[in-house]
Amino acid sequence: MELTQVKGIAEKRAKELNKLGVFTAEDLVRYYPRTYLDMTSRVSVREVLNNDTALIAARITYIEPMRYTGRVRFLRAHLEQDGDRFTAVWFNMPYLAKTLKEGEYLFYGRVQNKYGQVSLVNPTFEPMAVNARLKGLVPVYPLKAPLTQRAVRTAVQAALKAVSPPSVIPQELVAKYKLASYAWALRTIHAPVTEEDRALASERIALEEYFTLVSAFKLIKGDKNEARSVRYAVTEQDIAQFMRRFSFEFTKGQKEAVRAIYEDVKGPSRMNRLLQGDVGSGKTAVALTGIFMAVRSGHQAVYLSPTEVLAAQNHLLLQKMFPEYRVGYLSGASTAQEKRTVKAALKAGEIDILCGTHAVLQGDVHFADLAFCVCDEQHRFGVAQRNALSEKGVSPDVLVMSATPIPRTLSLIFYGDLDITTIPDKPKERQEIATAVVPLRKYDDMLGYVRQEVKRGKQAYFVCAKIEDDEGQVTSVTELFEELRARLPDVRFALLHGKMKDKDKTAVMEAFKRGEYDCLVSTTVIEVGVDVPNATIMAIMNAERFGLSQLHQLRGRVGRGSDKSWCFLLVGSESETAIERLRILKGTSDGFKLAEKDLELRGSGDFFGTRQSGKFLSEIKHLKYSSSVIFLAKKLSDEAFERHLNYEGIKRASMEKYESLKDVVLN
């Protein structure tokens, strides 16, 4: 149902909701709250710790005119609560100047308490008269200007009256396993009466989504035992000689991975293998050895990378390691003439190895004899991308790699179409990275250390969870960039985030690698594959907001040179629970142990949230649910397929979501 068909949603409001990715009434019903306000938990501003979020009732006594700091516009309101005076500030929200008035409001947001000055940063708010009617747990939704919480709550409730998306799980299984009603869960998640109701509704909705996801994987996975059509002439002696090209000796894990690939390409069935290993375990060297097996046998190979920066880096490496072979490069940034030349040479068999980004997947890219495909950083690509790559040849062998350690139980569910090889060890020369949990009171000391390292000629990363902070929950990358430039005027800072154009991101990253910038202030776009040996510091803001596995990936961006490297985990909250979890990261460098611990502490979202599975699970990224939901979803899907229950309905629902991902980067 179109949004404008929902009672109370006019065309203007529909366009505002479109900015949230909500285009239908069904989308709106599935636009889940990111948190809830307990209307009984209002606090005194004097009780709130620095950088904690809080629900605060206060009176606006004065609103300052809009001001500017460079290109940043900000609005400040002066507040009073029981004699305590403080402020609230909103950045780049000029429309609020017409909305805010003097009077009583309920605010929810991040509290800064520095040097005795208390301020709420980008808080959400509603007049006290409105909130007087709100009881119990009140949903708080992710917003984009100019929408308000009240507007979204009203629209969601209207949509719930207009539509009721059906459950895909067969009714026989709903009854057999005594599952809660899906319709009940959808209504309850938007207006839970108790915390128990919220938890049950979250689990039921997550079960529905994972059931659909696991079923989709079943439908789109090819035959694991597809007969081999490509023959390899490479020998073990050839491979051993190639491995001597590297400046290091392969570890036991690397050698076992190479052996597994060799046995695959010499076997009766095509290879479809996942190679997973921790940061620095040497997966790339194994992949290049696999590529050698193909080109030494007279075939072509392709190396697919998720970003321009990583593709360019891999292209240089391939040229270095395969001087006797012809290596081509293809990306979205290639000129039209370069693309025509590479595509023609590739089709004519004049290129042995093609390195590139998603441009490689385009329909007019044809190989003469593709035998071996490497998909780097598997979590950036979906099954559709792998299939598109495979279709470039006649049943070529496929090796996908992941530096995101995944607990084996989960990998067997989500990568059931792949044989799995794990490299458990690291090259001997990789040094350990010192890790420190840094409370906010030591932030200035850390900046002093960064300045000191920069003077020594070293470089640093500063990483934030978000590009902009519309809701006052975390330090944003744009906010931090401006703050650091003001605090450290003698340091050269660069800004990098996902909304920048690919060519601009590449230019910034290349300039950083060349040493033209001292510090890179970035979102997690630098998480994958970036190699700057001169960078010795990784500072992660609001580290408690990240999963342990993602923090471990970010930590792996430093420690690539010979100098001592540090990872600083800046704690945005002073709660002991947040700090204790980060101490786990400090105590181990084993990514697989951290992955298991993450699964135990946070559930499955860190592995199969937005980054892993695209739009499939982005809808439930704010819900809290246990990992047992995944295993139950797998069990229900297996039983539904075995008994052929609601097969057409499952296929229709699953493939609709799958098709929507076909041409999208899953990051």
Distance CA 603, CA 596 (A): 10
Q: Could you report the per-residue pLDDT of 9-31, keeping only the tens digit for each?
A: 999 999 999 999 899 999 999 99
Same domain, 271 and 396: yes
In a domain, 602, yes or no: no
Q: What's the number of domains the chain is made of? A: 3
> What does the pLDDT read at residue 416?
61
> What does the pLDDT read at residue 263?
94
In a domain, 505, yes or no: yes
Same domain, 439 and 414: no
Give the residue numbers spanning the domain of 106: 40-133
Same domain, 357 and 439: no
In a domain, 230, yes or no: no
In a domain, 573, yes or no: yes
Distance CA 231, CA 371 (A): 9
> What does the pLDDT read at residue 450?
95
Same domain, 519 and 400: no
In a domain, 659, yes or no: no
**Res. 573 pLDDT band, cuts 50 70 90:** low
> What does the pLDDT read at residue 277?
81
> What does the pLDDT read at residue 322?
97
Q: Are 528 and 306 in contact (CB under 8 A)?
A: yes
For residues 179-193, one letter each, b for 16 or more C-beta atoms within 10 angstroms of the residue's C-beta and e for the rest, the string is bbebeebbbbbbbbe
**Res. 551 pLDDT band, cuts 50 70 90:** confident
Residue found under tokens 């307990």:
38
Bridge partner list, 107 = 56, 125
Same domain, 338 and 387: yes
Same domain, 404 and 464: no
Same domain, 261 and 400: yes
Q: How many residues does the chain have?
A: 667
Q: What would the DSSP string read from start to end of 361-372?
A: GSTT---SSEEE
**Averaged pLDDT, 633-639:** 91
Q: Are 529 and 500 in contact (CB under 8 A)?
A: no
Same domain, 326 and 403: yes
**Res. 182 pLDDT band, cuts 50 70 90:** very high
Q: Which of 568, 588, 608 is the last residue of a domain?
A: 588
Q: Are 161 and 488 in contact (CB under 8 A)?
A: no
Same domain, 399 and 450: no
Q: Is 562 exposed, middle or buried (0-12, 13-18, 19+ CB in 10 A)?
A: exposed
Q: Are 602 and 547 in contact (CB under 8 A)?
A: yes
Same domain, 441 and 371: no
Q: What would the DSSP string read from start to end of 183-235?
A: HHHHHHHHS-SSHHHHHHHHHHHHHHHHHHHHHHHHHH---TTPBP-------
- Domain containing 113 — which CATH number? 2.40.50.140
Q: Which of 423, 452, 468 is the last residue of a domain?
A: 423
In a domain, 512, yes or no: yes
Q: Provide the whole-model pTM.
A: 0.61
In a domain, 172, yes or no: no
Distance CA 532, CA 577 (A): 33
In a domain, 623, yes or no: no
Q: Are 478 and 468 in contact (CB under 8 A)?
A: yes
Residue 615 has pLDDT above 50, yes or no: no
- Domain containing 492 — which CATH number? 3.40.50.300
Q: Which of 369, 399, 423 is the last residue of a domain?
A: 423
Q: Could you report the per-residue pLDDT of 522-547, keeping only the tens digit for each?
A: 988 775 556 788 999 999 998 888 87
Same domain, 116 and 68: yes
Q: Could you report the per-residue pLDDT of 208-258, keeping only the tens digit for each?
A: 988 988 887 777 664 455 778 899 999 999 999 999 999 889 999 999 999
> What does the pLDDT read at residue 109?
85
Q: Are 95 and 111 in contact (CB under 8 A)?
A: no
Q: Could you report the per-residue pLDDT of 381-424, keeping only the tens digit for each?
A: 555 566 677 778 788 999 988 776 666 656 666 666 677 788 87
